[in-house]
Amino acid sequence: MTDKKRRPAKKRPGTHHKSPYFLQPAKQGTVTVFRRPAGNRIDPKLCGTMTSRAMALALVKQLEKAESVVHDLFLEATDDGIEALEAVLEACRQSVTRRAEHIAAPDAATPPGRRGRGRRRGAPSRGGPAEEAPSGGAEDTSAA
């Protein structure tokens, strides 16, 4: 074995994305979403309080999508910019809660037990006419 020193691994730019959002526990099991200070802000911006950690993470994902479209949304210090930011935050919160309600209460059109893993695509339903033995065009006439 040689005593040569190994060269450190090359760091690839852009592989690690640290979100500007962070979560904090709040009262009664809720989770608060904040955005790190940017621009001329000193304090983190309160983005919303959600009922669970999963919903808070969904809000973070939604806010990251919104911020990717409007890059300088959190940097604006004008009255119009603050109003626009509050409108976007409210729209993101409503979107996440609407989606959570939709997931929690599936519509009655889907039959129970027919979703998820283990279901084969294109398989005939149980007890239907497709379970009978296929004739394949040739009939058995030996018993007649």
**Averaged pLDDT in 10-residue chunks for the chain of 144 residues:** 71 72 92 88 89 92 85 76 86 90 69 60 57 54 58
Q: Half-sphere exposure of residue 137, counting CA atoms within 13 Å on the CB side?
A: 0
Residue 39 lies in a domain: yes
**pLDDT, position 33:** 94
Give the pLDDT of residue 26. 92
Three-class SS state of 131? helix
Residue 127: inside a domain: no
86: closest CA among 97, 95, 102, 74? 74
Q: 6 is written with which tokens? A: 């190994």
> pTM value?
0.58
Does 144 reside within a domain?
A: no
Domain-embedded: residue 142 = no
What CA–CA distance (Å, rounded) separates 64 from 70?
Answer: 10
Residue 53 is assigned to a structural domain of this protein: yes
Q: What is the pLDDT at residue 81? A: 82
d(CA 123, CA 25): 46
Question: Which domain, by its residues, includes 42?
Answer: 21-104
Report how many domains make up the chain.
Answer: 1
Residue 14 lies in a domain: no
Does residue 73 lie in a domain region? yes
Q: Is 92 helix (H, G, I), strand (E, B) or coil?
A: helix
Q: Give pLDDT, residue 16.
A: 62
